[in-house]
A = this chain, B = another copy of it.
Amino acid sequence: MQLPEPTLRRLPWYLAYLGLLNQKGVEYISSTKISEELNVDSSQIAKDLSFLNIRGKTRIGYEVKALESKLRDFLGFACVHRAVMAGVGSLGEALIRDSGLQRYGLRISAGVDINPDLIGSTICGVTIHHPDKLPQLVKELDITIGIVAVPFESAQAMADTLADAGIRALWNFTPYRIRAREGVVITNTSIYSHLALIYNRLASQR
């Protein structure tokens, strides 16, 4: 089932909060308390969690451990999703080195780059290949996700190459607005837009 984006944004907040409660040994939590802590309307929380077919018990609330585990499964964080890093410059290398992504189910299985100095090298066990190898890599390593971290001027061309190679989802880290073809999932992580937001808000405070 295709969940609404705002729900998918909030569910990881609940998961992080439940993880915190679990560490503290808290066994049950009410939606009222979650609502206070995360500043989300409690009826909204109930609605978001109803997608998981989970309902709190009257006067007791939700069982922390069970909800945390169910939420992790539901969000796909407990499964392995294989990805290729397209562009192993500064950001691409940084993301390969970030082992935190693995805890959220993302395994970067290979990298591609046109830089001949990088081809054949490995970063944290991830081998870098020429983009020509993409169709073969996607098939042999069962890769579904392409992380786009090339310079923005090559973003669209790389997105097309990835789609041609059989990639089913693109995670775009460039500031370029990639157009995906029919049937290919696209998600943008707009680091630079967030910086622009911070700078604007800081400047407008002065």
Using a CB–CB cutoff of 8 Å, the interface residues on chain A facing chain B are 1-3, 5, 8-9, 11-13, 15-17, 19-20, 23, 38-39, 75-77, 79, 81, 89-91, 93-95, 97-101, 104-106, 144-145, 152-153, 168-169, 171, 174-177, 179, 183, 185, 187-205
Contact = CB atoms under 8 A, between A and B. Distances in A.
Given A23-B153, A75-B199, A97-B97, 11 more contacts: A13-B175, A16-B175, A16-B176, A75-B200, A77-B199, A81-B198, A145-B202, A171-B198, A185-B198, A187-B198, A189-B194
**Which of A5, A174, A177 has the largest count of B CB atoms less than 10 A from its CB?**
A177
Given A13-B175, A90-B97, A106 B202 contact: no
Given A195-B104, A201-B185, A19 B90 contact: no
Contact of A175 (B12, B98, B145, B183): B12
A81 B199 contact: yes
Contacts of A169: 198, 201-202
Contacts of A145: 198, 202
Given A94-B97, A97-B94, A12 B198 contact: no
